[in-house]
């Protein structure tokens, strides 16, 4: 009957609940007698009058059914002993749950519900961390859509844009990754919300540099090649792969969405290009559907604030997807999918990988003069070319995990920028490395 805390109900809902409880008690003499008996034992000063009895029983029932159901817990009258503030504070803070999870190494977000028992009371409750992500979505939408300062008028420019594109590629941002858990990292990397946003600012300034050199272009591409979030409940969304993390699910979501949204808004308002195209790979092994939710939130905010005419926002749910720009076709993939692949695409081309990609090209009748396959996943830079297409691996935006530090000698991390001529094979490529 009850699926939420009584403390969150409106006055009218409380009154309705009061009447329903009283009716159930009156309809069942055994329930009433049991309620009265337990109520008197817990608080002998209560009046024996019918009204006081019913009110007292309701008070006890109300406390007992916080975050539970009336039918299951209507006899747990002894909760009334500790008063309203004790129950509500215990249920709101979940402090015992947090302490136990820390001791046992269990992600607190993974606990959907639990019993909290002590000498004074026994309560069945739901973990409110499970709904914090939805609250975070609501908070972000309210913050950006209801703030009048977010309204933006696109500048009228007389500068003729060039038939070129600037492309920023971010891959494997792994928001929430802890590269130095308990000081176990070999290289003492730091990666948190502040570092993440500082590095996004660096990427913006690098794009600005290209704009100052080339002028306004017809398209600014922002590619996110997947694994933007490190995982869910301390594991990859595939499951079974434990991760060292320094953020909860909600913190990952907030950091990723806010940071990426700020970057996109900065590009829009800087007016580097006639159009902005954002393509987000979400079929990946770490972020998976978590990445889909986060990017969907960004997409809805951007569409509402700026409209689809200026900003194209694509969420790429298949393992491989492609699009064309002039004489170029870009095939994008994370390199490892969310569920099915035993092994991801390799760093270096081999016969099987070439055939795999050629089959995709043939299936979709891709006949562009220049075909580019772009992937992340392996956190390293590599470029190869075969007669049909070229094949590029992009580095990780996040620092290497403690596992990678011990098994692959540290590593490097950063982002990449390209300038693409729409009507020729000219592409300039620059890699930017973060220094720690």
Q: What is the CATH number of the domain that holds 359?
A: 3.60.21.10
If asked whether residues 93 and 242 sit together in one domain, one would say: no
Task: List the one residue out of 282, 171, 266, 257 whose CA is nearest residue 220.
Answer: 266
**Mode of pairing for the β-strands spanning 414-421 and 370-375:** unpaired
Strand partners, 204: none
pLDDT, position 231? 87
pLDDT, position 125? 56
- For residue 216, pLDDT over 70 is answered with yes
Q: Which of 30-34, 54-58, 219-223 has the lowest mean pLDDT?
A: 54-58
In-domain check, residue 293:
yes
* pLDDT band at 22; cut points 50, 70, 90: low
- For residue 218, pLDDT over 90 is answered with yes
Task: List the one residue out of 374, 214, 229 whose CA is nearest residue 298.
Answer: 229
- For residue 29, pLDDT over 50 is answered with no
If asked whether residues 152 and 121 sit together in one domain, one would say: no
Percent of the chain clearing pLDDT 90 (strictly above): 51
If asked whether residues 91 and 142 sit together in one domain, one would say: no
- For residue 345, pLDDT over 90 is answered with yes
pLDDT, position 372? 98
Calpha distance 293→288 (Å, rounded):
9
If asked whether residues 203 and 318 sit together in one domain, one would say: yes
If asked whether residues 122 and 145 sit together in one domain, one would say: no
If asked whether residues 105 and 190 sit together in one domain, one would say: no
- For residue 259, pLDDT over 50 is answered with yes
If asked whether residues 328 and 188 sit together in one domain, one would say: yes
In-domain check, residue 163:
yes
Q: Provide Rg for the chain, Cα atoms.
A: 28
- The arithmetic mean of pLDDT across residues 52-66, rounded, is 44
* pLDDT band at 418; cut points 50, 70, 90: very high
If asked whether residues 199 and 289 sit together in one domain, one would say: yes
Q: Which of 41-50, 85-94, 182-191, 257-266 has the lowest mean pLDDT?
A: 85-94
DSSP summary character for residue 26? H
- Which tens digit of pLDDT belongs to each residue from 225-238? 999 999 888 888 87
pLDDT, position 110? 56
If asked whether residues 331 and 236 sit together in one domain, one would say: yes
If asked whether residues 213 and 235 sit together in one domain, one would say: yes
- The arithmetic mean of pLDDT across residues 403-420, rounded, is 89
If asked whether residues 100 and 193 sit together in one domain, one would say: no
Q: Which residues does 403 contact at the CB level (< 8 Å), separation at least 6?
A: none
* pLDDT band at 151; cut points 50, 70, 90: low
Range list of β-strands (E), 258-327: 273-281, 311-316, 321-325
Structural domain for 47, as ranges: 6-126
- Boundary residue ending a domain (126, 161, 190): 126
Number of folded domains that form the chain: 2
- For residue 2, pLDDT over 50 is answered with no
Average per-residue pLDDT for the chain: 78
Calpha distance 178→190 (Å, rounded):
8
pLDDT, position 59? 46
- Boundary residue ending a domain (74, 92, 126): 126
In-domain check, residue 1:
no
pTM (whole model) above 0.85: no
The answer to whether 46 and 56 are in contact (CB under 8 A) is: yes
Query: Rounded to an integer, what is the distance from CA 320 to the centroid of its chain?
Result: 22
Return the exposure string of 284-313: e unless at least 16 CB atoms fall within 10 Å of the residue's CB, then b: bbbbbebbbbbbbbbbbbbeebbeeebbbb
- Boundary residue ending a domain (126, 156, 174): 126
pLDDT, position 82? 32
If asked whether residues 118 and 160 sit together in one domain, one would say: no
* pLDDT band at 409; cut points 50, 70, 90: low
């Amino acid at each position: 009957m009850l699926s939420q805390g009584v403390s969150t109900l409106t006055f009218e809902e409380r009154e309705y609940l009061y009447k329903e409880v009283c009716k159930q008690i009156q309809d069942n003499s055994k329930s009433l007698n049991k309620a009265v008996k337990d109520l008197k034992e817990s608080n002998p000063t209560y009046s024996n009058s019918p009204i006081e009895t019913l009110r007292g029983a309701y008070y006890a029932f109300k406390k007992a059914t916080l975050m539970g159901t009336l039918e299951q817990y209507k006899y747990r009258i002894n909760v009334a002993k500790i008063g309203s503030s004790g129950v509500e504070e215990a249920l709101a803070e979940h402090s015992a749950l947090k302490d136990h999870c820390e001791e046992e190494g269990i992600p607190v977000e993974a606990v959907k519900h639990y019993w909290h028992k002590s000498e004074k009371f026994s309560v069945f409750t739901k973990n409110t961390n499970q709904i914090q992500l939805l609250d975070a979505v609501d908070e972000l939408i309210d913050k950006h859509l209801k703030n009048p300062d977010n309204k933006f008028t696109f500048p009228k420019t007389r500068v003729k844009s060039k038939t070129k594109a600037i492309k920023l590629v971010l891959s494997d941002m792994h928001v929430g990754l802890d590269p130095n858990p308990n000081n176990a990292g070999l290289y003492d990397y730091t990666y948190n919300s502040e570092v993440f946003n500082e590095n996004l600012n660096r990427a913006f300034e690098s794009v600005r540099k290209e704009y100052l050199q080339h002028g306004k272009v017809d398209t600014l591409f922002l590619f996110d090649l997947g694994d933007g979030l490190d995982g869910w409940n301390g594991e990859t969304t595939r499951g079974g792969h434990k991760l060292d993390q320094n953020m909860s699910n909600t913190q990952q979501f907030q950091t990723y969405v806010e940071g990426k949204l700020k970057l996109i808004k900065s590009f829009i308002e800087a007016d580097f290009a006639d159009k902005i195209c954002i393509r987000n790979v979400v079929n990946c092994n770490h972020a998976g559907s978590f990445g889909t939710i986060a990017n969907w939130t960004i997409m809805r905010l951007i569409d509402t604030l700026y409209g689809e005419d200026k900003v194209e926002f694509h969420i790429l749910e298949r393992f491989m997807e492609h699009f064309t720009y002039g004489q170029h076709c870009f095939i994008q993939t994370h390199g490892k999918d969310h569920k099915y692949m035993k092994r991801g695409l390799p760093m270096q081309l081999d016969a099987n990988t070439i055939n795999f990609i050629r089959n995709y090209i043939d299936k979709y009748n891709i006949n562009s003069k220049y075909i580019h396959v772009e992937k992340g996943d392996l956190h390293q830079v590599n470029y190869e070319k075969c007669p049909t297409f070229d094949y590029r691996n992009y580095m990780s935006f996040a620092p290497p995990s403690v596992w990678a530090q011990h098994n692959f000698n540290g590593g490097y991390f950063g982002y990449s920028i390209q300038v693409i001529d729409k009507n020729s094979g000219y592409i300039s490529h620059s890699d930017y490395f973060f220094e720690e």
